[in-house]
C-alpha cells in the first residue's frame, strides 16, 4: 500500500474537492471515515483501503495533515474549499515564521499576509519548517518572523493546524519582520 499516494488523495478530497468524491464536510471539516473509504473505492482508487490503513498513514506521516476522532477524519490545514472550515482560536507562541519568495516581500509589508486561494495563512512554529516551505518556490527564501503574541494581544486570531503549523485569517504587516539570519535546513 502506497501511504504517500493515499495521503495525497485524501488531502485532495478533504482539502480541495470533496464534491468530486460526493463528500460533505461538516463546519469543522470532518467526514465519516467509512464515507471517505467508500468514495475512494467508487472512484477506483485504493480498493483495499481500510480504516487501519488510514490510521497507519496518519501515524507514519512526517507531516501531520489529518486526524481521526470518533469515526471521522479531517484535514488539519490547507483547505481551499468554498465552505470555510471553522477553527477555534488558540493563543499562539510568542513568534511564528513564514517562508516566502523575494518577489512577495514588498507586497507583504504593504498588505500583510493574506490567505489568497487558501482559507488561512499558514505559519510555521520553527525556522526550519519555514525554510522548507519557502524553498518550494525560491532557492533562497526570505524568512519572516511573525510577532504572534503581540498580534494575538491586539485581536488577531490564530488557530492550531498541527503541532508545528499555525493558521491565521491574515496577519497585518505591523506584526511582521524579516529574520536577520537563519541556518539553511
For the segment 26-73, what is each residue's pLDDT rounded down to a tens digit? 888 899 999 999 888 887 777 788 888 899 989 988 778 898 999 999
Q: Which pLDDT score, from 0 to 100, does residue 17 have? A: 86
Q: Using CA atoms of 134, 97, 12, 24 in order, give the dihedral in degrees to the nearest 10.
A: -160
Closest among 148, 111, 146, 152 to 130, alpha carbons compared: 146
For residue 114, pLDDT beyond 90: yes
Determine contact, residues 133/125, Cβ cutoff 8 Å.
Answer: no
Report pLDDT for 25.
87
Q: Do domains 3-75 and 96-178 have the same CATH topology?
A: no
Q: Could you read off the pLDDT of 95-113 as tens digits, one per residue?
A: 999 999 999 999 999 999 9
Question: Which CATH number is associated with domain 3-75?
Answer: 1.10.10.970
Q: Grid coordinates representing 77?
A: 490545514
Evaluate if residue 156 carries a pLDDT over 90.
yes
Fold of 96-178: ADP-ribosylation fold (3.20.170)
How high is the pLDDT of residue 181? 57
Domain boundaries, the chain: 3-75, 96-178
The Cα–Cα gap between 174 and 165 comes to: 21
In this predicted structure, what is the pLDDT of residue 1?
A: 66
Share of the chain above pLDDT 70, in %: 94
Amino acid at each position: 500500500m502506497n501511504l504517500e499516494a493515499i495521503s495525497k488523495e485524501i488531502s485532495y478530497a478533504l482539502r480541495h474537492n470533496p464534491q468530486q468524491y460526493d463528500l460533505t464536510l461538516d463546519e469543522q471539516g470532518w467526514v465519516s471515515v467509512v464515507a471517505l473509504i467508500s468514495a475512494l473505492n467508487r472512484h477506483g482508487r485504493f480498493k483495499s483501503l481500510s480504516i487501519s490503513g488510514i490510521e497507519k498513514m496518519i501515524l507514519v506521516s512526517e507531516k501531520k495533515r489529518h486526524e481521526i476522532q470518533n469515526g471521522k477524519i479531517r484535514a488539519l490545514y490547507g483547505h481551499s474549499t468554498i465552505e470555510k472550515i471553522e477553527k477555534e482560536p488558540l493563543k499562539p507562541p510568542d513568534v511564528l515564521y513564514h517562508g516566502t519568495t523575494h518577489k512577495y516581500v514588498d507586497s507583504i509589508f504593504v498588505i500583510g499576509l493574506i490567505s489568497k486561494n487558501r482559507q488561512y495563512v499558514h505559519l510555521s512554529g520553527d525556522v526550519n519548517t519555514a525554510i522548507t516551505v519557502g524553498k518550494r518556490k525560491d532557492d533562497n527564501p526570505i524568512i519572516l518572523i511573525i510577532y504572534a503574541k503581540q498580534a494575538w494581544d491586539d485581536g488577531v486570531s490564530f488557530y492550531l493546524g498541527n503541532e508545528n503549523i499555525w493558521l491565521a485569517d491574515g496577519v497585518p504587516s505591523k506584526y511582521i519582520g524579516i529574520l536577520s539570519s537563519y541556518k539553511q535546513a
